[in-house]
Structure formats: structure tokens, C-alpha cells
Amino acid sequence: MEARSLVFKALGDPTRREILDRLREGDLNAGEIASAFEIGKASISHHLNLLKQAGLVKSRRQGQQQIYTLHTTVFQEALQWLMVFFENQTTPPNPKGSGKLGENGPRG
């Protein structure tokens, strides 16, 4: 599947977002991640695999354990894609400027 769908689909699940959230505080192995949830290990393993396919996490083996880390590059790409929705948006034909771009519009 295309990279962008994989990323947004991965982010569309609360369990997977919580996994990412926990990884922000530091790397975790699969067991540590699994024990934070009610669902089984196999299910977590599946979620981890989706996150990996999306490029949102990387994993490395350390002895018996598989250690998962956030991989921020893909987050940035998703971020950029979202930002284009503001920066490149042609001015709509609505009455009264709809350019809700924050304090400074596109290009300052």
C-alpha cells in the first residue's frame, strides 16, 4: 500500500497511538509494550508490525528482546502533508477571508 495511507491508517487506531505515546518516553521491548494493554501479545505484535510498515517505529534485537524505537522521519512527512493544506490552499470564494493560518499566513 502507499506510504501515506499506511501512516495515517496506523495513526487511526487508539492502541497504536498509545504505543507511540509510550515510546516517546524511551525505547521499549515488545513485552513491556504488550503488558501495558489488555489485549494479547500476538495482537500487539501485529500492531507493532503495522507501525513498522508505516515507518513510524524501528525495531532491533537485543538478546531475546525486540526493542522498539520511534522513528520520527515519517512523522515529519505526515506533518508536511498536512501543512500543505494550509500553505497551498487557493483562497476560497467564501465571503470574508477564510485563510485561517494562525497569526501569520503562508509566507509570513
Nearer to DNA, 44 or 70 (CB): 44
Listed ranges 48-56, 73-81, 83-91, 98-106: which one lies at the site for DNA (CB under 7 A): 48-56
CA pair distance 106, 3, nearest whole angstrom: 26
> Residue 39: which of 72, 15, 19 has the closest Cα?
15
What type of residue sits at position 69?
T
Number of CB atoms found within 10 A of residue 67's CB: 15
The answer to the question of residue 40 lying near DNA (CB under 7 A) is: yes
In three-state secondary structure terms, 58 is: strand
What is the Cα–Cα distance from 79 to 88, expressed in whole angstroms?
14
| Binding site residues, a copy of itself, CB under 8 A | 2, 4-5, 8-9, 11-14, 17, 20, 24-27, 69-70, 72-73, 75-76, 78-79, 82-83, 85-86, 88-90, 92-94, 98, 100, 102
By the rule CB under 7 A, 56 interacts with DNA: no
Contact footprint for DNA (CB under 7 A): 9, 12-13, 15, 29-32, 34, 38-50, 59, 61, 63-66
